[in-house]
Amino acid sequence: MSEPSVASYPVDDTNRVKRLYKRAHYDQATVHALLDSGTLCHVSYVIDGQPYCTPTLYWREGTKLYWHGSSASRMLRNLSEGQPACLTVTHLDSLVLARSAFHHSADYRSVMAFGHARLIEDAPEKARALTMMVDRLFPGRTESLRPTTDQEVKATSVVMMEIEKASAKIRAAGVIDDEEDYALPVYAERIPVRTVLGAPEPDGRLLPGVARPAPLAGFSAGRRLDEALTEAYAASYPAG
Amino acid sequence: MSEPSVASYPVDDTNRVKRLYKRAHYDQATVHALLDSGTLCHVSYVIDGQPYCTPTLYWREGTKLYWHGSSASRMLRNLSEGQPACLTVTHLDSLVLARSAFHHSADYRSVMAFGHARLIEDAPEKARALTMMVDRLFPGRTESLRPTTDQEVKATSVVMMEIEKASAKIRAAGVIDDEEDYALPVYAERIPVRTVLGAPEPDGRLLPGVARPAPLAGFSAGRRLDEALTEAYAASYPAG
């Protein structure tokens, strides 16, 4: 999907960042880039007044988000109008030790996306979404696998949410202290945090001669996960 | 707080793990160990029917969880009975490439904790909680800092939630395929994922002679964040 960099999600009281508003971004380019650099999200929804915060794998197509339905499935079934939901993706980038307790902080990048979650009931639509779930992570992988069976599609719940509103919040500032506190003999530092890949572990029961496919080269030991995911997404879905 | 290993959170329809129930744990030892190995959580709550999924820093004391209130503050103020909330912590441990799309998965460790969130209004109670927020991460750090001012305490929102129910879910299985699929000439692997610390970056404006305090030694380059956090928690709060 072509997206001019000026495209932005609408802002209202739901998604307007109230605290530290200078960290906020609403443009699609920033929001989508952050979404495409992750694979684990947390999604919030309400069942009988009880909020749930469920970790799951997600993926993006244009302004739509998809995720595994899991325990939300029963609630979502037959609710064609959808249920309000919020899907959040967060990268922790550092721990910040300042000279005062008050300014201890963390660098991070996060996106909160709001919309109405709907269970995908149509089998072909669901099968297409599941292909994207795999190929979004590992370019071209689906065509190297045996076909997914109808029973497998049936056994998998996929939820779709059109992003109605979204906000990205980014702190990348390290140590920030009150000016007078810089005169204190207190140690302060930024401790970088990053999520990285280890050395791939080939399955022990591979058939002789079965080698690692070339498109997996980006998933190499020591690589940052967010970079590998961004690259994989762009390889599989170059139009965004 | 002393906790016999048999202590468990109650299980009902809210926190019972429905899918893949073999991955579920309800004992306090497992739930608390996972909580103490993290610092970033996602918390869900409802404002006017809209669920929010907010990333924030959290910490545990016994069976209580605390976190920064941020946008929930207005909702929580003056609601002495509390608001239903769900706080979730997730570690992503791998990406799993199986021989079928259906068995693509991820290894992970997560905790969902349910309860009622209350804003801490009492200033001394809040100041005590904020000390724990810092010292839980960096043992003994608060006493090396200038005292927090009344204004800083006032400007900080802290939310407390007694854990009423909780469940931990752990997948640590790598590749699992249908037995007949092992005969396919398809590549399969587990790609480990871990969140690690980079080399600490001392602030550029440290006074001469101000050295890195010894209790920060556990936060060293290449160390796993979850291990450093677990160790720091145990050093500051050895009784759990």
Nearest of A176, A24, A36, A182 to residue A94 by alpha carbon = A176
CA angle B228, B231, B232 (to 5 degrees): 85
Whether A90 sits inside 8 A of B42 (CB atoms) is: yes
Q: What's the mean pLDDT when you consider all of chain B?
A: 91
Query: Which parts of chain A sit beneath pLDDT 70?
Result: 1-6, 18-22, 70-81
Query: Does any domain span residue A203?
Result: yes
Query: Does any domain span residue A231?
Result: yes
Query: Does any domain span residue B14?
Result: no
Q: What is the pLDDT of residues B66-88, one digit of tens each?
A: 998 755 566 666 556 689 999 99
pLDDT score of B95 more than 60: yes
- Report the C-alpha gap between B90 and B42 in whole angstroms: 9
Nearest of B154, B129, B157, B148 to residue B60 by alpha carbon = B129
Nearest of A114, A177, A127 to residue B50 by alpha carbon = A114
Whether B185 sits inside 8 A of A207 (CB atoms) is: yes
Query: Does any domain span residue A2?
Result: no
Rounded percentage of chain B residues whose pLDDT exceeds 70: 90
Q: What is the pLDDT of residues B18-42, one digit of tens each?
A: 666 668 899 999 999 999 999 999 9
Using an 8 Å CB-CB cutoff, list chain A residues near B44.
42, 44, 51-53, 86
User: How is residue B159 written in tokens?
Assistant: 């939310």
Whether A235 contacts chain B with CB within 8 A: no
Give the pLDDT confidence score for residue B155 in this predicted structure: 87
Nearest of B128, B195, B138, B194 to residue B158 by alpha carbon = B128
Q: Per the structure, how many domains does chain A have?
A: 1
Chain A nearest C-alpha distance from B80 (Å): 18
Q: Out of B87, B100, B194, whose CB is closest to A146?
A: B100
> Would the CA dihedral through B77, B78, B82, B83 be positive or negative?
negative
Give the pLDDT confidence score for residue B108 in this predicted structure: 96
User: How is residue B6 written in tokens?
Assistant: 């048999």
Using an 8 Å CB-CB cutoff, list chain A residues near B187.
144, 202, 206, 210-213, 216
Query: Does any domain span residue B151?
Result: yes
Give the pLDDT confidence score for residue B6 in this predicted structure: 66
Query: Does any domain span residue A107?
Result: yes
Query: Does any domain span residue A207?
Result: yes
Whether A52 sits inside 8 A of B86 (CB atoms) is: yes
What is the pLDDT averaged over residues B216-237? 97
Whether A187 contacts chain B with CB within 8 A: yes
Give the pLDDT confidence score for residue A3 in this predicted structure: 46
- Report the C-alpha gap between A52 and B51 in whole angstroms: 9
Nearest of A74, A63, A78 to residue A115 by alpha carbon = A63
Q: What is the pLDDT of residues B161-190, one digit of tens each?
A: 999 999 999 999 999 999 999 999 999 999
Q: Which CATH number characterizes residue B119's domain?
A: 2.30.110.10
For residues B105 and B188, the answer to whether their CB atoms sit within 8 Å is: no
pLDDT score of B1 more than 50: no
Chain B nearest C-alpha distance from A136 (Å): 12
Give the pLDDT confidence score for residue B147 in this predicted structure: 94
Query: Does any domain span residue A7?
Result: no
- Report the C-alpha gap between B87 and B110 in whole angstroms: 11
Give me the domain span that covers residue B87. 21-201+211-236
Using an 8 Å CB-CB cutoff, list chain B residues near A97.
138, 141, 216
Give the pLDDT confidence score for residue B240 in this predicted structure: 79
For A35-70, give one letter per residue: b (16+ CB within 10 A) or e: bbbbbbbbbbbbeeebbbbbbbbbbbeebebbbbbb
